[in-house]
Amino acid sequence: YSGLGVYTGSALNDLTLVGTAETIGDNFNPFSAVTFVAAAGTTYYFLVVSASGDFGNISLQLVKPGNNSFFGRMTLAGPRITVGDSNVGATVETGEPGVGSRSVWFAWTAHGTDIVIIDSCGSNFNTTIGAYTRQPTTNSVGNLNLVMKQDSVTPATCTTNRLQFTPVDGTEYEIRLSGTGTLTGNYVLNIVQRQTQAITFLPLPDKVFGAGPFTLSASTNTGTPVTFATATPLTCSVTG
């Protein structure tokens, strides 16, 4: 079992504590974890000590989500998407909009003008979510246009505190998700664009009472399966 400390400073006798942590986890996978917001250009020093006098190999990892930066945002595609990960180690950039200091970014392009719903249901901590657009010629986090945001989403209110708007076809929307304040955890982001459904039936020749069995076939533009039922079971039946 170990303890972990993070410091800044210029000499051993003149260090400033940033954060500490004792061992967490279980007997098979014990570890220590410190979360902090790193400042650009600052040197950090890490102290690992044995909490019980034991000795052995040390593994030190610096964790930061790949989509923490706006430039590294995760590209999502499709009318129905669910992604999940952790925002542990995430920070914010200079000029970044929104509240919360543990943000991750996504990019999603609308297909059509049907209503889109974005929520963080499934996350195990309080989150904030926002949707933005950018000018096609810019790729800067400080030059975004707000579409809609929710600054306080709890696991209990995620179905009501969500984003819902009519998108512009072909427009890329930049989606920001953060913990409230400095909260971190396992997040889930759900995107559903409601599509107007059309059903196409294959041509069916005229039938008369007493005709033998025949096949019905239909498809939808959304890929939803089509099922058949009869309203007059004494006259005809549907099987299969």
3-class SS of residue 63? coil
pTM, entire model? 0.66
Q: Cβ(94)–Cβ(142) under 8 Å?
A: yes
Pair of tokens at residue 20:
């500490």
Residue among 31, 32, 41 nearest 8 (CA) = 41
pLDDT grade, residue 210 (50/70/90)?
Answer: confident
Closest CA to 94 of 156, 133, 39, 43: 39
- CB within 8 Å of 178: residues ≥ 6 apart: 87, 90, 92, 98, 99, 100, 101, 102, 103, 104, 127, 128
| Residue of 34, 39, 45 whose CA lies nearest to 89 | 34
- List the one residue out of 103, 7, 5, 3 whose CA is nearest residue 52: 3
Q: Which of 72, 93, 83, 70 is nearest to 176 (CA)?
A: 70
What's residue 49's pLDDT?
A: 84
213-228 pLDDT, tens per residue?
Answer: 888 899 988 778 899 9
> Mean pLDDT, to the nearest integer, of 132-139?
87
* 3-state secondary structure (DSSP) of residue 77: coil
First to last CA, the chain: 61
How does pLDDT run across 55-91, given as a tens digit for each residue?
778 888 777 788 999 999 999 999 999 999 999 889 8
Mean pLDDT of the chain: 88
Q: How sure is the predictor about 24, in pLDDT bands with cuts at 50, 70 and 90? A: low
Q: Which of 3-7, 29-33, 165-169 has the highest mean pLDDT?
A: 165-169
Angle at 70 between CA 113 and CA 151, to 5 degrees: 70
For residue 191, give the nearest of 103, 131, 144, 127 by alpha carbon.
131
